[in-house]
Amino acid sequence: MAELITPVERKYAGIQLSGLKALREGTIPEFSGFPDSLNNRYNASFVFTPNSTAQFEERVAQPLAAIADQAGIGLYLASRDFCVHSTLLEGAWEGEDQAVKQALFGQIHSAEAIGKLDLLVGKKIEFQYLLIGGNTVLTAVNIPEWVLAARAQLNDVYRTHGLKPLSMDNILHITVARMTRLPEGDKEEKIKAFQAYRKMARDLRHSISASPLILEVGAVSTVPPLELLRIAA
């Protein structure tokens, strides 16, 4: 009998296969920055306690940075270059008048469901799988029911105020790093460097799978996405 996997595991497997394929074929693009369109999203994200952030930095960010350096790869790295966070749910505003957007976001910020997000402070999330590719992400296999409930409430708030909720079905993750500098040389040399990176990262993946990170929510941030992605922890 084939082993049953959950929709969450299936999604993560697809992400990992895609990342490994890009490394194998050398088709990873350099990350050059975020689009201004992120300013049109209302964002709710988990940020973690100082102790949890330190654990993430010691066990994930620093080892990955060392591996990337050996492979000649530059990273835009969580905890060093931007705040360690995990997106709860975003809602996209598709209008053009910025004054209207600001007023709308202010109404959302005052909504009862947004205030209740503070009740999630102190809760813990287990992150177990590190998915390697052009973007490296740390994922939670078991998405807590309280996360799903909070997402459902936010989904309703966003729709009520005319925003389009951006799907987070079957995923709860922390973006660890994006590649900002690729290995030097021709395509063949780049592929060799990517494969060295993948092999070195394998031990890190196994270490995290064997002993998952348990991170505690320190706050639920509603800082605009571009600010969250440009401030260090």
What is the tens place of the pLDDT at every residue in 125-141?
Answer: 999 999 999 999 999 99
Q: Say yes or no to pLDDT of 232 above 80.
A: no
Q: Look up the domain containing 129 and give its range.
A: 8-21+32-228
Taking only the tens place, the pLDDT of each residue in 152-178 is: 999 999 999 999 999 999 999 999 999
Over the chain, what is the mean pLDDT?
94
For residue 26, is it within any domain? Answer: no
**68 assigned to some structural domain:** yes
E strand map for the chain: 41-48, 74-77, 85-92, 124-127, 129-131, 135-139, 164-166, 173-181, 213-221
CATH code for the domain of 90? 3.90.1140
As a whole number of angstroms, the distance between CA 92 and CA 105 comes to 11
pLDDT category, 3, cuts 50, 70, 90?
low
Q: How far is Cα 52 from Cα 213, in angstroms, rounded to an integer?
A: 8
In a domain, 233, yes or no: no
Residue 2 lies in a domain: no
216 or 32: which leads in pLDDT: 216
Q: Is the dihedral of CA 45, 92, 148, 116 positive or negative?
A: positive
Portion of the chain with pLDDT greater than 70, in percent: 97
User: For residue 229, what pLDDT is reported?
Assistant: 86
Residue 213 has pLDDT above 90, yes or no: yes
Indicate whether 139 belongs to any domain: yes
Q: b/e for 51-81, b at 16 or more Cβ within 10 A?
A: ebbebbbebbbebbbebbeebbbbbbbbbeb
Give the pLDDT band (50/70/90) at residue 4: low
Specify if 94 maps to a domain.
yes
The tally of domains found in the chain comes to 1
Is there a domain that residue 63 lies in? yes
| pLDDT reading at 57 higher than 50 | yes
Res 233 pLDDT > 60: no
Give domain status of residue 1, yes or no: no
pLDDT, mean of residues 92-97 = 93
Interval 166-192 mean pLDDT: 95
Instruction: Kindly indicate the confidence band of residue 40, based on its pLDDT and cuts at 50, 70 and 90.
Output: very high
Query: What are the C-alpha distances in Å from 47 to residues 91, 183, 200?
Result: 18, 32, 28
